[in-house]
Amino acid sequence: MVARIIPAPVSVQERGGSFRLTENTRSKIEYRLDPKCGLPPEGYTLNVTRTRVKAVASTPAGLFYAKQTLRQLTDGDRIPCVSIKDYPRYSWRGFHVDPCRHFQSVEDLKAMIDVMAQYKINTMHWHLTDDQGWRIEIRKYPRLTSVGAWRTEWDGGVHGGFYTQDEVREVVAYAAERFITIVPEIEMPGHAVAAIRAYPELSCTEEPVGSFSTWGSPDIVLCPGKEKMFEFLDDVIAEVSALFPGEYIHIGGDECKKTRWQKCPACQARIKAEGLSATADATPEERLQSYAVKRMEGILAKYGKKLIGWDEILEGGLSPNATVMSWRGEKGGIAAAERGHQVIMTPSHDGMYLDHYQGDPKIEPETISGDNTLEKVYSYNPSIPVKGVQGNLWSEYIYSEAQRQYMFFPRAFAIAEIGWTLPENKDFTAFCTAVDRACEDLDARGINYHIPMPEQPGGSYNHVAFLDKAVLEFTTTRPMRMVYTLDGSEPTPESATYEGPLEFTSDATLRIACVTSYGKMGKARTIDIRKDTLRPAKILDGKPSIMLRTTYGFFLDWSEIPSGAFWTEPRPIDSFRDIPRQEPTHYNMMGLNFYAAEATGYIKVPEDGVYVLSTLFDQLWVDGEKLIDNGREVKKHSRQDAGIALRKGYHQVTVRFLSNVRGGWTTARNRGEILIRKADNT
């Protein structure tokens, strides 16, 4: 059998037999560049017989890709005899990285480039500027990096880094040797707080701004009313375009809040002077953004570059020659294509955002949101003809390089296949087999990747309660064997294989994990299964009150609250939902108030039974027992759900909440909820 190649080639014919690699036969491998061979750019043919190997392509990129295919075909000292004809579906096969939210070293980036080139990715979108950090040296504006590249985190740490121009040239050259073109992104007019911190005169109010270390889309944006803002961008583009030989520069354009423009005399004067009055489908401020993007197109043209931007650049009118990167679904891309523009599809919820969850959020590490399993990523197929596709890896919730790799691989292999392979040649089962081999390769390089965890279909949780028996069922996001132990020991490939639902009638500790076809263990889950008795309920007259008390301070853990802290007198509130909103907060980090809150009230249970409770509060106590402790987690999605047996009626609950910022997430943005559902596995 010929090894399944990623991305699957256009055609593969197996010939039987193999070519043996020895010192003597290495000279029988020929790479021939033939501009007249008739193959599309980047395409190649590869013929392996028992006596020779011959690759032909019309471009050096094509020969490079033939070599990558040959590498994947090679099994020890054998290359199976095949005849392959291959070329890409799309000319833009991209991946995106975000070193702004969490910095990525040159070395780590090169490791990613190395791997992606092997899978015939040809474009890297380098998101170099954002609110939380400016990552590229600009000689004319040294404060962009001396100030804008560093931020103070809420736990007191300093995070940052930037690429010198020499480093940028080094990465560009490194990628070019692997036929990857780098498209730099310089964000305007939103997502530019780092630049505004360095040069406040670029904003509408010109007010000084502190370092930005929470996520979101702040209303502090560049001021297109001011000529000096365009002069600044022109200067930046002058330096950037000299560093990147590719034809495109990405100008961002997404998520720009326009509230300040409404009040800014310069912006309003510009709107008046340029006649940007409201139209049926655009506000004056949207037209102002469109005006700014059009001026960017002119600036880029001066330096011989073409403009690409996120699909928001459609709002208020698209620049004449813009290429659109469609991220909010395909809608923007379709609208742009209808007007004759080039389109890159990166629809976030259709699988192209690799910062989204790839398994059950209840057990996976925190991410921004979403549900982009490997299978979902793989199944994406643009609904219209486009220039290309790209997988995007934003890094808000990526706190280490190992985590960045975990989010990226193996889904990046699916991106590579979507970009290259004809839909009729896609096959998820065959792809998964090839993914295993590709992941073994990652192991050899010391690169981390996602191995599924066994998941409970109704929502995974590790604290299972039952009355008579618990029946636990597990699934995986891609086909993989599951193994488990019941004695508390770490599962190994030799542990019992999960064959079907597991039944428990007494207390147990289940440890369960996936094991790959090549014997590597995924992360083991530890599930505590506990026989419970129905907790007695209280009978209450009328609506029970919820009493809240608070104390001020920035605490990352409940244990940090001093014993002598001053607490307010308990006061009644209407709903647990009100707790995070007890104190005034602001969407961006200025004006956030930090405090601890404790509230005691009741929840009503409709009938006797075992329930699973879920909360984003720091702690949840039920009938005097601590059921959930979210500890120091980034509390954006709950990951500590727990079961408990409750009688019909009212049960006393106490919640503890810390208004703080952890990992860039502001807990005041949590919905203050206690979610309760009937356990479906008992």
Q: Report the interface residues with ligand ACM, using CB under 6 A.
A: 254-255, 310, 327
**Residue 266, binding choice from Zn ion, ligand ACM, none, Cβ under 5 to 8 Å by partner class:** Zn ion
**Residue 267, binding choice from ligand ACM, Zn ion, none, Cβ under 5 to 8 Å by partner class:** Zn ion
**Residue 675, binding choice from ligand ACM, Zn ion, none, Cβ under 5 to 8 Å by partner class:** none
User: Is the CB of 397 or the CB of 657 nearer to ligand ACM?
Assistant: 397
Nearest to 452 by CA among 523, 402, 506, 503: 523
* Residue in the block written with tokens 């506990």: 530
204 binds Zn ion (CB under 5 A): yes
Spatial CB neighbours of 428, under 8 Å, sequence gap ≥ 6: 375, 378, 379
| Alpha-carbon torsion angle 531, 601, 462, 631, nearest 10 | -130
**Residue 292, binding choice from Zn ion, ligand ACM, none, Cβ under 5 to 8 Å by partner class:** none
Q: Which stretch binds Zn ion (CB under 5 A): 64-72, 201-209, 275-283, 345-353?
A: 201-209
Quick one: tokens of 496?
A: 């019992």
User: Is the CB of 111 or the CB of 196 nearer to Zn ion?
Assistant: 196
Between CA 101 and CA 99 the distance in angstroms is 6
Active-site option among 167, 255, 473, 528? 255
Count of H helices and E strands in the chain? 14, 35
* Residue in the block written with tokens 């949101």: 369
Quick one: tokens of 179?
A: 């036929």
266 binds Zn ion (CB under 5 A): yes
Active-site annotation holds for 159: no
Q: For Zn ion, how many residues bind (rule: CB under 5 A)? A: 6
Q: Residue 570: how many CB atoms within 10 A of its CB?
A: 15
C-alpha distances out from residue 276 to 227, 313, 320, 323, Å: 17, 16, 17, 23
User: Is the CB of 254 or the CB of 623 nearer to ligand ACM?
Assistant: 254
CB of 327 to ligand ACM, least distance (A): 4
Contact 324, 309 (CB under 8 A): yes
User: Is the CB of 282 or the CB of 415 nearer to Zn ion?
Assistant: 282
Considering only residues 175, 220, 264, 470, which one is a binding residue for Zn ion as defined by CB under 5 A? 264
Q: Which stretch binds Zn ion (CB under 5 A): 175-183, 220-228, 431-439, 501-509?
A: 220-228
196 binds Zn ion (CB under 5 A): no
Active-site annotation holds for 396: no
**Residue 204, binding choice from ligand ACM, Zn ion, none, Cβ under 5 to 8 Å by partner class:** Zn ion
Contact 401, 431 (CB under 8 A): no
Can you say how many angstroms the Cα of residue 472 is from the centroid of all Cα atoms in its chain?
30
* Residue in the block written with tokens 């690409």: 308
The verdict on whether omega for the bond into residue 189 sits within 30 degrees of 0, i.e. cis, is yes
**Residue 63, binding choice from Zn ion, ligand ACM, none, Cβ under 5 to 8 Å by partner class:** none
DSSP string over 322-357: -EEEE-SSSHHHHHHHHTT--EEE--GGGTTBTTS-
**Residue 583, binding choice from ligand ACM, Zn ion, none, Cβ under 5 to 8 Å by partner class:** none
* Residue in the block written with tokens 């990129």: 61
CB of 428 to ligand ACM, least distance (A): 26
Active-site annotation holds for 130: yes
Contact 119, 72 (CB under 8 A): no
**Residue 254, binding choice from Zn ion, ligand ACM, none, Cβ under 5 to 8 Å by partner class:** ligand ACM
Between CA 448 and CA 436 the distance in angstroms is 13
CB of 222 to Zn ion, least distance (A): 8
HEC per residue, 445-503: HCCCCCCCCCECCCCCCCEEEECCCEEECCECCCCCEEEEECECCCCCCCCEECCCCEE
Residues in a beta bridge with 487 = 509
User: Is the CB of 229 or the CB of 661 nearer to Zn ion?
Assistant: 229
User: Is the CB of 217 or the CB of 545 nearer to ligand ACM?
Assistant: 217
Active-site option among 102, 191, 250, 356? 191
CB of 369 to ligand ACM, least distance (A): 12
CB of 261 to Zn ion, least distance (A): 5
Residues 221-260 that bind Zn ion (CB under 5 A): 223, 225
User: Is the CB of 255 or the CB of 583 nearer to ligand ACM?
Assistant: 255
Between CA 337 and CA 305 the distance in angstroms is 20
H-helix segments, 184-258: 193-198, 227-243
Q: Which stretch binds Zn ion (CB under 5 A): 266-274, 554-562, 618-626, 642-650?
A: 266-274
CB of 310 to ligand ACM, least distance (A): 5
522 binds Zn ion (CB under 5 A): no
Positions in the binding site for Zn ion (CB under 5 A): 204, 223, 225, 264, 266-267
The residues annotated as belonging to the active site are 130, 191, 255
